[in-house]
């Protein structure tokens, strides 16, 4: 079974690299299929799903997880529900999310 999972990940990765990933479309897909409901609007994570961004996992790992997540609470998404292009675009969106500023760089909210 692991060979099939690895083969599936390679297939998704090879298909995903056949076109340029679009972070704008990725955000639309992320919202449309409901990723935000568990992972937050910007992939920040919540008690319902882990943090995905900034600095997401590698594209092939994300693709494999999306397709083969049966062992977690997240449903597995077949290519019929989320295409290989969708997966690549979602990854591009997650990569485009910038980290928040460091605490030391935040201005004082109240000055005395």
Neighbours of 61 (CB within 10 A): 13
DSSP letter (8 states) at residue 49: B
In this predicted structure, the answer to whether residue 5 has a pLDDT above a threshold of 70 is: no
- Whose tokens are 């500023």? That residue is 101
What size, in residues, is the chain? 112
Buried b / exposed e along 23-36 (16+ C-beta atoms within 10 A): bebbbebbeeeebb
Distance CA 39, CA 47 (A): 9
Residue range 20-42: average pLDDT?
96
26-37: average pLDDT: 97
**The CATH number of domain 2-99 is 1.10.760:** yes
Q: Count of CB atoms within 10 A of residue 64's CB?
A: 20
pLDDT for the residue numbered 82: 96
Q: Which residue has the higher pLDDT, 70 or 74?
A: 74
pTM, two decimal places: 0.76
């Amino acid at each position: 079974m692991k060979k099939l999972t690895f083969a599936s990940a390679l297939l998704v990765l090879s298909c995903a690299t056949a076109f340029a990933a679009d972070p704008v479309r990725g955000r639309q897909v992320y919202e449309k299929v409901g990723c935000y409901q568990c992972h937050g609007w910007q992939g920040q994570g919540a008690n319902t799903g882990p943090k995905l961004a900034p600095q997401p996992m590698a594209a092939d790992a994300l693709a494999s997880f999306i397709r083969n997540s049966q062992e977690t609470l997240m449903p597995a998404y077949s290519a019929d529900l989320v295409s290989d292009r969708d997966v690549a675009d979602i990854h591009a969106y997650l990569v485009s999310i910038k980290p928040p500023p460091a605490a030391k760089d935040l201005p004082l909210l109240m000055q005395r």
